[in-house]
Amino acid sequence: MAVLQIATRPFADQRPGTSGLRKKVKVFQQPHYLENFVQSVFSAIPDRAGQTLVLGGDGRFYNREAIQTILRMAAANGWGKVIVGRGGLFSTPAVSTIIRARHAHGGIILSASHNAGGPDHDFGIKYNTANGGPASEKITDAIWAASKAIQSYQTLDSADVDIDQDGEFLLGDMRVEICDPVAEYVELMARIFDFAALRRLLQGPFRMRFDALHAITGPYAHEIFEERLGAPAGTVVNGVPLTDFGGGHPDPNLVYAKPLADHLFAEDAPDFGAASDGDGDRNMILGRQFFVTPSDSLAVLAAHATAIPAYRQGLKGIARSMPTS
Protein backbone atom coordinates (compact mmCIF):
# COMPACT_ATOMS: atom_id res chain seq x y z
CA MET A 1 0.00 0.00 0.00
CA ALA A 2 1.47 3.29 -1.12
CA VAL A 3 1.75 6.35 1.11
CA LEU A 4 0.25 9.33 -0.68
CA GLN A 5 1.34 12.93 -0.17
CA ILE A 6 -1.72 15.09 -0.88
CA ALA A 7 -1.24 18.80 -1.56
CA THR A 8 -3.53 21.10 0.41
CA ARG A 9 -3.90 24.64 1.73
CA PRO A 10 -4.62 25.85 5.29
CA PHE A 11 -8.11 26.57 6.55
CA ALA A 12 -8.33 29.67 8.71
CA ASP A 13 -10.75 28.24 11.28
CA GLN A 14 -8.99 25.20 12.74
CA ARG A 15 -7.95 26.57 16.12
CA PRO A 16 -8.78 23.89 18.73
CA GLY A 17 -9.62 24.37 22.39
CA THR A 18 -9.33 21.78 25.16
CA SER A 19 -12.57 20.33 23.73
CA GLY A 20 -10.93 20.07 20.31
CA LEU A 21 -12.44 21.35 17.09
CA ARG A 22 -16.22 21.52 16.65
CA LYS A 23 -17.92 22.53 13.43
CA LYS A 24 -20.96 21.67 11.37
CA VAL A 25 -20.76 18.33 9.59
CA LYS A 26 -20.79 20.09 6.23
CA VAL A 27 -17.65 21.99 7.22
CA PHE A 28 -15.84 18.74 8.05
CA GLN A 29 -17.07 17.24 4.77
CA GLN A 30 -15.24 19.87 2.71
CA PRO A 31 -12.38 18.36 0.69
CA HIS A 32 -9.20 18.18 2.83
CA TYR A 33 -10.81 19.77 5.92
CA LEU A 34 -10.76 16.76 8.24
CA GLU A 35 -7.46 15.56 6.78
CA ASN A 36 -5.79 18.94 7.38
CA PHE A 37 -6.76 18.93 11.04
CA VAL A 38 -5.76 15.29 11.62
CA GLN A 39 -2.38 15.91 9.98
CA SER A 40 -1.96 18.98 12.19
CA VAL A 41 -2.66 16.83 15.26
CA PHE A 42 -0.10 14.27 14.15
CA SER A 43 2.45 16.98 13.35
CA ALA A 44 2.07 18.25 16.93
CA ILE A 45 3.13 14.77 18.18
CA PRO A 46 6.65 14.37 16.76
CA ASP A 47 7.38 11.24 18.84
CA ARG A 48 4.41 9.27 17.47
CA ALA A 49 6.43 6.74 15.42
CA GLY A 50 5.65 3.20 16.55
CA GLN A 51 3.32 4.42 19.29
CA THR A 52 -0.25 3.33 20.08
CA LEU A 53 -3.27 5.54 19.42
CA VAL A 54 -6.83 4.97 20.70
CA LEU A 55 -9.66 5.97 18.34
CA GLY A 56 -13.43 6.17 18.66
CA GLY A 57 -16.41 8.45 18.99
CA ASP A 58 -19.95 8.93 20.20
CA GLY A 59 -21.55 7.45 17.09
CA ARG A 60 -22.89 10.68 15.65
CA PHE A 61 -23.28 11.28 11.91
CA TYR A 62 -19.91 11.22 10.07
CA ASN A 63 -18.24 9.19 12.84
CA ARG A 64 -17.67 6.07 10.73
CA GLU A 65 -16.34 7.98 7.73
CA ALA A 66 -13.93 9.95 9.91
CA ILE A 67 -12.64 6.73 11.51
CA GLN A 68 -11.63 5.37 8.10
CA THR A 69 -9.87 8.61 7.15
CA ILE A 70 -7.96 8.75 10.43
CA LEU A 71 -6.90 5.10 10.21
CA ARG A 72 -5.41 5.61 6.75
CA MET A 73 -3.62 8.76 7.88
CA ALA A 74 -2.34 7.13 11.07
CA ALA A 75 -0.83 4.31 9.04
CA ALA A 76 0.83 6.82 6.71
CA ASN A 77 2.15 8.88 9.64
CA GLY A 78 4.06 6.10 11.37
CA TRP A 79 1.78 5.09 14.24
CA GLY A 80 2.54 1.54 15.35
CA LYS A 81 -0.96 0.55 16.40
CA VAL A 82 -4.47 1.99 16.58
CA ILE A 83 -7.08 0.58 18.98
CA VAL A 84 -10.59 1.22 17.68
CA GLY A 85 -13.84 0.62 19.53
CA ARG A 86 -16.08 -1.79 17.64
CA GLY A 87 -18.29 0.15 15.26
CA GLY A 88 -16.08 3.19 15.80
CA LEU A 89 -17.63 3.71 19.25
CA PHE A 90 -15.97 4.82 22.49
CA SER A 91 -17.14 7.14 25.24
CA THR A 92 -14.66 9.81 26.33
CA PRO A 93 -14.14 8.12 29.75
CA ALA A 94 -13.57 4.79 27.98
CA VAL A 95 -10.91 6.33 25.73
CA SER A 96 -9.20 7.67 28.85
CA THR A 97 -9.41 4.20 30.41
CA ILE A 98 -7.93 2.45 27.37
CA ILE A 99 -5.14 5.01 26.97
CA ARG A 100 -3.97 4.44 30.54
CA ALA A 101 -4.58 0.67 30.68
CA ARG A 102 -2.79 0.01 27.39
CA HIS A 103 -0.05 2.64 27.88
CA ALA A 104 -1.10 4.33 24.66
CA HIS A 105 0.51 7.56 23.53
CA GLY A 106 -2.86 9.28 23.19
CA GLY A 107 -6.31 9.06 21.72
CA ILE A 108 -8.57 10.77 19.20
CA ILE A 109 -12.20 11.20 20.25
CA LEU A 110 -14.86 12.06 17.68
CA SER A 111 -17.64 14.01 19.36
CA ALA A 112 -19.31 17.39 19.60
CA SER A 113 -20.39 16.60 23.15
CA HIS A 114 -23.96 17.74 23.88
CA ASN A 115 -24.52 19.30 20.44
CA ALA A 116 -27.08 17.77 18.09
CA GLY A 117 -26.00 15.20 15.51
CA GLY A 118 -27.00 14.59 11.90
CA PRO A 119 -26.03 15.83 8.43
CA ASP A 120 -27.13 19.40 9.25
CA HIS A 121 -25.72 19.46 12.76
CA ASP A 122 -22.37 19.17 14.54
CA PHE A 123 -19.23 17.07 14.53
CA GLY A 124 -16.04 17.34 16.53
CA ILE A 125 -12.57 15.91 17.04
CA LYS A 126 -10.26 16.17 20.04
CA TYR A 127 -6.95 14.69 21.15
CA ASN A 128 -6.30 13.24 24.60
CA THR A 129 -2.75 12.67 25.83
CA ALA A 130 -1.01 9.74 27.54
CA ASN A 131 -2.48 10.59 30.95
CA GLY A 132 -5.96 10.09 29.49
CA GLY A 133 -6.86 13.75 29.83
CA PRO A 134 -7.43 16.53 27.27
CA ALA A 135 -4.51 17.95 25.34
CA SER A 136 -2.66 20.76 27.10
CA GLU A 137 -2.63 24.28 25.77
CA LYS A 138 0.92 23.67 24.57
CA ILE A 139 -0.31 20.85 22.33
CA THR A 140 -3.42 22.67 21.10
CA ASP A 141 -1.23 25.68 20.25
CA ALA A 142 1.09 23.37 18.30
CA ILE A 143 -1.91 21.92 16.42
CA TRP A 144 -3.12 25.43 15.60
CA ALA A 145 0.34 26.44 14.37
CA ALA A 146 0.61 23.33 12.19
CA SER A 147 -2.85 23.93 10.72
CA LYS A 148 -1.83 27.43 9.60
CA ALA A 149 1.33 26.19 7.88
CA ILE A 150 0.16 22.90 6.35
CA GLN A 151 0.99 22.32 2.69
CA SER A 152 0.27 18.59 2.41
CA TYR A 153 -0.96 15.59 4.37
CA GLN A 154 -0.06 11.92 4.28
CA THR A 155 -2.53 9.10 3.82
CA LEU A 156 -2.48 5.47 2.76
CA ASP A 157 -3.79 4.35 -0.63
CA SER A 158 -6.14 1.70 0.77
CA ALA A 159 -9.79 0.71 0.94
CA ASP A 160 -11.99 1.02 4.01
CA VAL A 161 -11.47 -1.62 6.69
CA ASP A 162 -14.02 -3.60 8.70
CA ILE A 163 -14.53 -1.92 12.06
CA ASP A 164 -17.51 -4.05 13.09
CA GLN A 165 -15.71 -7.29 13.97
CA ASP A 166 -13.34 -7.73 16.91
CA GLY A 167 -9.82 -8.75 15.95
CA GLU A 168 -6.45 -7.51 14.73
CA PHE A 169 -5.09 -6.90 11.25
CA LEU A 170 -2.45 -4.88 9.45
CA LEU A 171 -3.14 -1.65 7.59
CA GLY A 172 0.08 -1.05 5.75
CA ASP A 173 2.73 -1.53 8.45
CA MET A 174 0.39 -0.46 11.26
CA ARG A 175 -1.56 -2.86 13.45
CA VAL A 176 -5.26 -2.18 13.96
CA GLU A 177 -7.16 -3.72 16.87
CA ILE A 178 -10.95 -3.65 16.89
CA CYS A 179 -12.14 -4.21 20.46
CA ASP A 180 -15.24 -4.23 22.62
CA PRO A 181 -15.73 -0.53 23.46
CA VAL A 182 -17.40 -1.32 26.80
CA ALA A 183 -15.51 -4.20 28.47
CA GLU A 184 -12.36 -2.53 29.83
CA TYR A 185 -14.28 0.47 31.14
CA VAL A 186 -16.77 -1.78 32.93
CA GLU A 187 -13.92 -3.76 34.52
CA LEU A 188 -12.41 -0.51 35.79
CA MET A 189 -15.76 0.49 37.32
CA ALA A 190 -15.96 -2.93 39.00
CA ARG A 191 -12.56 -2.33 40.59
CA ILE A 192 -13.50 1.16 41.78
CA PHE A 193 -17.04 0.60 43.08
CA ASP A 194 -18.62 -2.08 45.27
CA PHE A 195 -20.61 -3.94 42.62
CA ALA A 196 -21.83 -6.50 45.16
CA ALA A 197 -23.42 -3.79 47.31
CA LEU A 198 -24.88 -2.05 44.28
CA ARG A 199 -26.28 -5.36 43.05
CA ARG A 200 -28.07 -5.87 46.35
CA LEU A 201 -29.46 -2.34 46.13
CA LEU A 202 -30.76 -2.65 42.57
CA GLN A 203 -32.25 -6.09 43.14
CA GLY A 204 -34.24 -4.78 46.12
CA PRO A 205 -37.04 -2.21 46.23
CA PHE A 206 -34.75 0.64 45.07
CA ARG A 207 -35.71 1.78 41.56
CA MET A 208 -33.81 3.89 39.07
CA ARG A 209 -33.91 5.09 35.47
CA PHE A 210 -30.97 6.00 33.25
CA ASP A 211 -31.62 7.94 30.02
CA ALA A 212 -28.76 7.57 27.55
CA LEU A 213 -30.43 10.04 25.13
CA HIS A 214 -29.51 7.73 22.21
CA ALA A 215 -25.87 8.75 22.71
CA ILE A 216 -22.75 6.75 23.55
CA THR A 217 -23.47 5.77 27.16
CA GLY A 218 -26.33 3.41 26.31
CA PRO A 219 -24.18 0.27 25.80
CA TYR A 220 -22.20 1.04 28.96
CA ALA A 221 -25.35 1.59 31.03
CA HIS A 222 -26.99 -1.62 29.73
CA GLU A 223 -23.90 -3.63 30.64
CA ILE A 224 -23.35 -2.08 34.06
CA PHE A 225 -26.86 -1.55 35.40
CA GLU A 226 -28.87 -4.31 33.77
CA GLU A 227 -26.29 -7.04 33.12
CA ARG A 228 -23.72 -6.66 35.91
CA LEU A 229 -25.90 -5.17 38.66
CA GLY A 230 -29.16 -6.92 37.82
CA ALA A 231 -31.44 -3.91 37.46
CA PRO A 232 -34.71 -4.79 35.67
CA ALA A 233 -34.80 -4.62 31.88
CA GLY A 234 -36.02 -1.18 30.91
CA THR A 235 -34.00 0.59 33.61
CA VAL A 236 -31.94 2.05 30.75
CA VAL A 237 -33.97 3.96 28.16
CA ASN A 238 -32.92 5.40 24.81
CA GLY A 239 -29.91 3.10 25.09
CA VAL A 240 -29.07 2.53 21.41
CA PRO A 241 -26.61 5.11 19.99
CA LEU A 242 -28.07 6.77 16.89
CA THR A 243 -26.31 9.02 14.38
CA ASP A 244 -28.83 11.80 15.05
CA PHE A 245 -29.48 10.96 18.73
CA GLY A 246 -33.09 10.22 17.81
CA GLY A 247 -33.59 13.81 16.73
CA GLY A 248 -32.79 15.18 20.17
CA HIS A 249 -29.90 16.95 21.85
CA PRO A 250 -27.70 14.69 24.02
CA ASP A 251 -27.57 17.44 26.64
CA PRO A 252 -28.43 16.18 30.15
CA ASN A 253 -30.52 19.03 31.50
CA LEU A 254 -34.13 19.72 32.38
CA VAL A 255 -34.88 20.93 28.85
CA TYR A 256 -33.42 18.19 26.63
CA ALA A 257 -33.90 15.37 29.14
CA LYS A 258 -37.42 16.50 30.03
CA PRO A 259 -38.99 13.01 29.72
CA LEU A 260 -36.58 11.78 32.40
CA ALA A 261 -37.33 14.76 34.61
CA ASP A 262 -41.08 14.25 34.14
CA HIS A 263 -40.67 10.60 35.11
CA LEU A 264 -38.77 11.50 38.29
CA PHE A 265 -41.39 14.09 39.26
CA ALA A 266 -44.35 11.77 38.60
CA GLU A 267 -46.58 10.32 41.30
CA ASP A 268 -44.94 6.89 41.13
CA ALA A 269 -41.39 8.13 40.50
CA PRO A 270 -38.35 5.88 40.95
CA ASP A 271 -35.76 6.66 43.61
CA PHE A 272 -32.98 7.83 41.31
CA GLY A 273 -32.51 9.11 37.78
CA ALA A 274 -29.56 10.07 35.63
CA ALA A 275 -28.67 11.07 32.07
CA SER A 276 -25.39 11.64 30.24
CA ASP A 277 -24.26 13.84 27.37
CA GLY A 278 -23.17 12.79 23.88
CA ASP A 279 -19.71 11.45 24.71
CA GLY A 280 -20.43 10.42 28.31
CA ASP A 281 -18.29 12.82 30.34
CA ARG A 282 -21.10 14.94 31.86
CA ASN A 283 -24.23 13.94 33.69
CA MET A 284 -27.47 15.06 35.30
CA ILE A 285 -28.65 13.50 38.56
CA LEU A 286 -32.20 13.52 39.91
CA GLY A 287 -33.89 12.06 42.97
CA ARG A 288 -37.55 11.38 43.46
CA GLN A 289 -39.16 14.78 42.80
CA PHE A 290 -35.95 16.78 43.12
CA PHE A 291 -33.06 17.89 40.91
CA VAL A 292 -29.44 17.73 42.05
CA THR A 293 -27.27 20.58 40.79
CA PRO A 294 -24.02 19.32 39.23
CA SER A 295 -21.81 20.97 41.85
CA ASP A 296 -23.87 19.35 44.62
CA SER A 297 -23.58 15.89 43.05
CA LEU A 298 -19.81 16.29 43.07
CA ALA A 299 -19.89 17.46 46.68
CA VAL A 300 -21.91 14.38 47.69
CA LEU A 301 -19.40 12.10 45.95
CA ALA A 302 -16.50 13.82 47.68
CA ALA A 303 -18.17 13.71 51.11
CA HIS A 304 -18.82 9.97 50.84
CA ALA A 305 -15.72 9.01 48.85
CA THR A 306 -14.42 6.63 51.51
CA ALA A 307 -17.51 4.45 50.99
CA ILE A 308 -16.12 3.66 47.53
CA PRO A 309 -13.58 0.80 47.67
CA ALA A 310 -11.00 2.54 45.48
CA TYR A 311 -11.03 5.64 47.73
CA ARG A 312 -11.24 4.07 51.20
CA GLN A 313 -8.00 5.82 52.13
CA GLY A 314 -9.51 9.18 51.17
CA LEU A 315 -9.09 11.56 48.26
CA LYS A 316 -5.89 13.39 47.43
CA GLY A 317 -7.96 16.07 45.76
CA ILE A 318 -10.49 16.76 43.05
CA ALA A 319 -8.81 18.04 39.93
CA ARG A 320 -11.81 18.34 37.67
CA SER A 321 -15.51 17.56 37.89
CA MET A 322 -17.35 15.31 35.45
CA PRO A 323 -20.59 17.30 35.79
CA THR A 324 -20.74 20.89 34.63
CA SER A 325 -21.27 23.38 37.43
Say which of 113, 147, 276, 297 is annotated catalytic: 113
3-state secondary structure the chain: CCEEEEECCCCCCCCCECCEEEEEHHHHCCCCHHHHHHHHHHHCCCCCCCCEEEEEECCCCCHHHHHHHHHHHHHHCCCCEEEEEEEEECCHHHHHHHHHHCCCCEEEEECCCCCCCCCCCEEEEEEEECCCCECCHHHHHHHHHHHHHCCEEEEECCCCCCCCCCEEEEECCEEEEEECCCHHHHHHHHHHCCHHHHHHHHCCCCCEEEECCCCCHHHHHHHHHHHHCCCCCCCEECCCCCCCHHHCCCCCCCCCCHHHHHHHCCCCCCCEEEEECCCCCCEEEEECCEEECHHHHHHHHHHCHHHCHHHCCCCCCCCCCCCCC
CB 264 within 8 A of CB 271: no
Tell me whether residue 91 is one of the annotated catalytic residues: no
How far apart are the C-alpha atoms of 21 and 291, rounded to whole Å? 32
Residues with catalytic function: 113
